[in-house]
Chains A and B, each alone.
Chain A
Amino acid sequence: NAGVTQTPKFQVLKTGQSMTLQCAQDMNHEYMSWYRQDPGMGLRLIHYSVGAGITDQGEVPNGYNVSRSTTEDFPLRLLSAAPSQTSVYFCASSNQDRRGTEAFFGQGTRLTVV
């Protein structure tokens, strides 16, 4: 199993450019989420989805859009990149049940906006 796959691993953008960070999972998980991690900080939740067609905002959603058209994919879109969005982005997936849940994370996308 590939688990959670994020592409690209590294990206440099110019201010104002747009791009999509890709996230795919092959575990048939219902729940997927995007986090950003800045140097010396913990992970902050951007957006999450509890199933295809359902998304919701996390702690820091401004400047990011998401959609969930399939169970497998959960892309994160930056419509107009800003230097403040320079960060490492992690995608995660899990199946939630009453016994608790284990989330699986991708290897991250390191984004630099200049």
Chain B
Amino acid sequence: LAKTTQPISMDSYEGQEVNITCSHNNIATNDYITWYQQFPSQGPRFIIQGYKTKVTNEVASLFIPADRKSSTLSLPRVSLSDTAVYYCLVGDMGQAGTALIFGKGTTLSVSS
């Protein structure tokens, strides 16, 4: 699995757009990029997944440049409830036996 690097922490205010960038220089051709969100005392929750260009859902957008060596999770107009840890995972999730390996994630703190 490709190693990922993301900031340990970020601070924001309500209503701002937050962009969390993840670096994955060794991403392989079959690898997907997946982001999870974890609130205190809860299990991680899937946010978004992509392979290339841009993916958008009701929660976030994921931007992936052409070389795929990095990706950016964009949270529009964050609120206090978006305070959580965000994990970036990269891997060939369709390959039997591939395990989800989590790093330490990015702790996002949203203030009023």
Q: Does B45 contact A (CB under 8 A)?
A: yes
Establish whether residues B44 and A97, one from each chain, have CB atoms under 8 Å apart when the complex forms: no
Which of the listed residues B51, B99, B104 has the most CB atoms from chain A within 10 Å of its own CB? B99
Which DSSP category, helix, strand, loop or mixed, fits chain A's interface? strand
Q: Does B96 contact A (CB under 8 A)?
A: yes
B interface, how many residues as a size bin? Answer: 20 to 34
Q: Does A62 contact B (CB under 8 A)?
A: no
Establish whether residues B101 and A96, one from each chain, have CB atoms under 8 Å apart when the complex forms: no
Q: Which residue of A lies closest to B34 (CB)?
A: A100
B binding-site residues for A, Cβ under 8 Å: 32, 34, 36, 41-46, 49, 51, 85, 87, 93-105
Which DSSP category, helix, strand, loop or mixed, fits chain B's interface? loop
How far is it, in angstroms, between the C-alpha of A97 and the C-alpha of B59 when the chains are bound? 23
Among candidates B45, B49, B96, B104, residue contacting A41 with C-beta atoms closer than 8 Å = B104
* Chain A residues whose CB sits within 8 angstroms of the CB of B41 once the complex forms: 88, 108
Q: Does A27 contact B (CB under 8 A)?
A: no
How far is it, in angstroms, between the C-alpha of A25 and the C-alpha of B4 when the chains are bound? 29
* Chain A residues whose CB sits within 8 angstroms of the CB of B43 once the complex forms: 4, 90, 92, 105-108
Establish whether residues A96 and B34, one from each chain, have CB atoms under 8 Å apart when the complex forms: no
